Structure 1
Amino acid sequence: MMWLSCLENKNNLKGQWPAVTVRKVPAAILHQIEQELDMDEKETMVFLCRDLVPDLSAPDVRKIFVALNEREELTDTSLAELLYRLKRFDLLRKFLGIGRAAVEASLSRCPQMVSNYRVLLTEINEDLDKDDLDALVFLLMGDREMSYAKMAKDKNFLAIITDLEKLDLVSPDQLDFLENCLRNIHRKDLAKKIQKYQREAPVHTIGTPALYANALQVLPKLTLVDPPGIVSKGRLLNGPYATNAAEQVQISIPETGRALAQKSLQVSDQYRMQSRPVGICLIIDCIGNDTGTLVDTFNTLHFEVHCRPFLNADSMMHELYTVAGLNEHKDYDCFVCILISRGDHQSIFCTDHVVPGFPLENVKRFFTGDTCPGLLGKPKLFFIQNYVESGNQQENASLLEADGNLCTIPQVADILWSQAMLDASTLDRSPDASSYYLSALTELLIDPHKRGLPLLDVLVELNNRIYEWNRTNTTKQYKLLLKHTLRKKLFLSPR
């Protein structure tokens, strides 16, 4: 595969990365989805996507699908969002194999494709009955835009809004006219929805379409040269700028009932974790049951969280390239990557279920010091929840594999690898069930009684919890792999 060979070719790392091709949604699937939609649903989809394809004249669903697909912006994730907005949960399951809860979990925590403005108006459209619409049209007939009102007589609400947008009476930052209309037809509940939107919409985003988190961008160049810049006096860093002086750093430790650690620690004995944000936390969740808890946890730990739900294999590879190329790494102290997917003990399948899958061994290569200089000498933490499908799970009689050979980790410094495996049949029986491994991990990371402990000590406690779980849950057996090449103590939780 191209994405695999380019990682192994060192010459490629010195210059421009090769172009990455993201798999388009098959035209046959798009055609079937279009055939399943009724006229009202098609009109709603056109309205939702108007900001995404502003250059289309007389857009319809087919034209929108073609345009987004050609721009490589129509992924499983974006298609899932559109079907969710139409409340076609049956099509989510039929064509994408995911449920309503999974999409809701990602939309509640991650950037969306459709703007909040268009979501608001489609929700208002759903709440208006025929009498409300007749009253609204009658009200508009008394407005100064008489010619418009005559045109609007036989149109639905979204078509009326589209015409009001053309007249510059309604826009993302101009909703007072519509709010007054709704009040005048005695729909104060809908007027309050507009007020809530106006209160919550950030000033800098009003009037602009929402940015889609998984939209493709030009791949950045990655260099083997140390990042430029002069370190200010007194600033201590991990990596190539780390000081060798045994300077004392005073760290305030909240009391938790007993002395947790010394208040004065040698910098040379521990990784620096003082930047704000501490680092980037990349979450790629192809299941959708644990995203919210993970986002909350790593926000609490002062990470800049990048959430990327429901990626296919090509999109995942592109996302890893993009995050590895971010300039911010040179200013941050740590990096975290969390992967959740079906797979086998060596690979993950992502949403398109590519077999043999995306090799886990290659995930780390994006972030080692030679391919990502900004992370040289800094801790790189990987947490993997892999739902192993039948026939792919390695036989192992032990309940807890603490240091097995399920995945070979090269001797690259400053890496921690924690991987949990659970039979995918558990997920099939309970599609919305959370991972106990991830739940226990997040609980321990923010536990005030654990914040004075090094991360490795916290993970020993995690091992113990998984062991106890396996003793009492004979049908849901976790296999756990923990390996690391950390060189110093790492205190991840706030202290």
Structure 2
Amino acid sequence: MEFREKLLMVDQVLNSDDTKALAFLCKDILKCDISSVESPIDLFQRLEEKDVLSEDQPYLLADLLRVIEHFQLLRELDLNSTMSTTVNPITPYRKLLYELSKDIGQKELKNIKFLLNKDLKHSALELNVSTLEVFLEMERMDLLSSSNLLRLEQILKDVRPVLWKQILQFKDSQGKIAQETGVVDHRPRSSSDASRRGKDQTDPPPYPMKAQQRGICCIVNNFDFSRSSGKHKNREGTDIDEGSLRRVFTWLGFQVEVVQDATRDQMLSSMRELASRDHSGMDCVACFVLSHGLKGGVYGVDGGVVGLEELTDLLHGVRCASLRGKPKLFFIQACQGNKKEQAVPVPANGPVNPKVHDQTDGPSSPGVNIQTDGPSSPGDICSDAVVASELLPSTADFLTAMATTPSHVSVRLEEKGSWFIQSLCQNLEQLVPHGQDLVSILTKVNGDVSQMFKRIGGCRQMPQHSSSLRTRVVFPVPEGPFIHKVTFNDSLGEESTV
């Protein structure tokens, strides 16, 4: 039988569910939207164009039929013994997801959709949507990838623990393969693993993270600016950021405390109170300010300005002895001015599309609510001092991460929170289990946020961090399960679930 006759026979035998399974298994090969694959013949033509399927290379066809367990068809086509020892284009990750989908029943799929209710669009949660289609939507929303199985692990641990263990076995096997081949090992690492890795590379050991409690995570969340004499709007969507930070930093072992709608004086007094505590039994401290801002400072809800140096200065070693030698981490979600980031051409292999033109900070469509955390008029912009000047050279162990660069706006979506905070939380969730240090994670955040204009079609944004850290900040891999949902009181005084 000619090879193309074999392909035609496969097309005649397989049903629509088989076609979807084949397309799913080939997604990493095709690198395109597979929803348009209408039949096995359509798929085979695309694979031929990719030079991965031909009469001389029948291995992919045999592997596909083997994975979907059409063994009789394999025998009839005389492909049962066809197996390549050098070519295996179906990724182990894609095979894993397909194997998981076969063991997920309708009741379990319903529970999975329930847990993903706030993450996926409604059409992806309808009754007729299959497990593979849910996986594809999770990938589209950056909730699932070959290097990010954490969310799927969490869900299956609740829905069907035996499948969760299957993922752990897969990750372990992939880690062993990586060690044998010299590929980077992406398995979750313990803090001791991370420390050993640092020593092997002659890097100094990271900051000690051995305390029973990681430290205080203080979140100043300013929403209600009705007292600012009309200078600033209320910060819709900031409750989303607060919920995400609560969830992630509780998971990391921090004691999370929130200061709601603080004036200038209340922000400073809260920081003084934090500095007056005994942190000797803790590893570090993390402070978040979610507010409107301008270059070099942030606004209280009364319109008063607090300089960033005023905030960080209160935790200097002279004023807070119990934090000497420990990381003091500041994260500022606020604008630093009214300027909008501009697109610039880069080489073809660069991260930015040179064809994209300058855009405003308005919504890209009527259904997208985009706000900024900056002053309401150009007159609110202050001097040209850069962020790095806010950290005195004589101070050590400080890190300040800003949502945006000096003079520029930052973006916050009413329905999803701010780009910066949401990217930070997502990357902490994904990379802490892999032993990544905080500065590397923030660099990843920079890259992710810098590309977000492609998905939103509106503003651009470039986060920035500066540091006087003396070594790496590596959070230990949390021992307990990840917290999917955190109930908290948001700034409107209502109960919310994130």
- TM-score calculated relative to the size of structure 2: 0.42
